Amino acid sequence: MFTGAEINFPNFVPGVGVHDTAIDRFLEAIRRSHMLVIGSPGYHGGISGLVKNALDYTEYLSKEERPYFDGRPVGCIATGAGWQGANATLVALRQVVHALRGWPTPMGIAANSTVPLFASDGQCVNEELKGQVQIMAEQLMAF
């Protein structure tokens, strides 16, 4: 799992090689993956800059035998302080996954962060969200 601190990469610049251990670990994890789950908070109706910048670094995978997310199922999860931002971000994530040759799961999750979702210990307290995550997990495993 890569969270904010782990994907705080320098801005991606096409054609400019960056040698960074954190980026190398991120790309190697994608290379080894059988499936992916990508989540992003919604910022002004779109993917956060941090997440989008990390996804841009997958360009270094473009010439490999298995480019980008090729042939892999990808679960997409978006959060927002309301349904509009969460849903817009989910649509954007799904479009990026398609562009990177991945297969978005039929179940995409838009989570409204204005309602309680998690307890302080990280446990999900929202039954609807739990059910959606279960469905997405089943779809990822079935693919």
* pLDDT tens figures, 70-85: 999 999 999 999 999 9
Structure tokens at 92: 């954007």
Structure tokens at 132: 């959606």
Per-residue pLDDT averaged across 45-52, rounded?
94
Going along the chain from its start, the domains and CATH numbers come out as 4-142 (3.40.50.360)
| Gap between the Cα atoms of 107 and 137, Å rounded | 9
* pLDDT tens figures, 99-133: 999 999 999 999 999 999 999 999 999 999 999 99
Q: Would you call 25 exposed, middle or buried from its count of C-beta atoms within 10 A (0-12, 13-18, 19+)?
A: exposed
pLDDT at 60 > cutoff 90: yes
